[in-house]
Amino acid sequence: NRVCNFVTFTPNESNPGNDIRIVVPKLEPNTYIVPDSFRLSYEFKKENTKSWFMNNLGKLLCERLMIRVGGEIVYDNNGESLIEVYKDLWKIDSKRANMVEYGIMNENARKMLSKDDTIYLTAKENGDYDLIMAKVYKEQKMKLGKILNDHGPYAPYNMKSGFEYTVTLPKADKIMVAQANEKVEGYTLKNKHLEYESIENEELAKRVNEGYETGRSLSYEHRTLLKPTVWAKDATRFNESIDVPRESMRAVVLLFRKRTVTDSEEYVFPRIEK
């Protein structure tokens, strides 16, 4: 039996700078979580009608991600939104077009969803379509599941150590833009709840559980934001010192054209040779 589960939060509202702690439920015996089904749902509300959120809201809201297993921190990245938004830029158009519920949509739809009062000036030929999208996807989602999704079906009943995520929300001006001569104000995530799918099947659960009986290892990549630097556009050479104490470590350099680094509208299919 495949079931869609909903878990509410108390309190169920969060504001900029807040931490959202999400604990993976224990479930029942012979039940496991379907990979890639773990996500946080919410309604995005802001404090004025003079601004709207940038593209890829679901990834932008996760400025910092911390993962604990058995109380021990196994992943902690204070630049989570930067790397995840950047990775999504390389998805093909058809893939991005199917990510509306995760906050990837055109500016017109984002203004409608944000209730920006200039929307009547920016409506285009597909304005009716954008209006439908804004109504259908009023509830936005944030995909979770890092590490969890990389090891097949997860049977938390047999996992002795608890598994939890902590998401830190960014300041409003990092994920929103305002009209000319206006300022970005705060926002609130309301009606938060956790969604995930589970399957109860004794035979399948038996196969999944075999990995827990002998002990199970977690394999994952740890990422952290080392430092941001500003390079002159006409410069031909850059000198950066990066400490890499282990052979398994490597540096990832993200190149942006301007300081609004979280506005992914600027960087779809980036051409790094320029």
pLDDT band at 274 (very low <50, low <70, confident <90, very high): very low
Question: What pLDDT, on the 0 to 100 scale, is given for residue 153?
Answer: 64
Among 64-78, 93-107, 166-180, 209-223, the range of highest mean pLDDT: 166-180
Closest C-alpha among 162, 165, 112 to residue 143: 165
Tens digit of each residue's pLDDT (9 = 90 or more) over 26-43? 888 788 888 889 999 999
Give the pLDDT of residue 261: 47
Phi and psi, residue 232, nearest 5°: -65, 140
How do residues 140-196 score in pLDDT, each as one tens digit? 999 998 887 776 666 666 566 678 999 999 999 999 988 888 888 899 999 999 999
Question: Which carries the bigger pLDDT value, residue 8 or residue 106?
Answer: 8
Complete domains list, the chain, with CATH? 2-268 (2.70.9.10)
Question: What whole-number distance in Å separates Cα of residue 271 and Cα of residue 274?
Answer: 6
Query: What is the rounded distance in angstroms from the CA atom of residue 57 to the CA atom of residue 61?
Result: 6
Kindly compute the dihedral angle of the four CA atoms of residues 154, 21, 196, 61, in this order, to the nearest 10 degrees: -120
Alpha-carbon distance 210 to 223, whole Å?
30
pTM value? 0.81
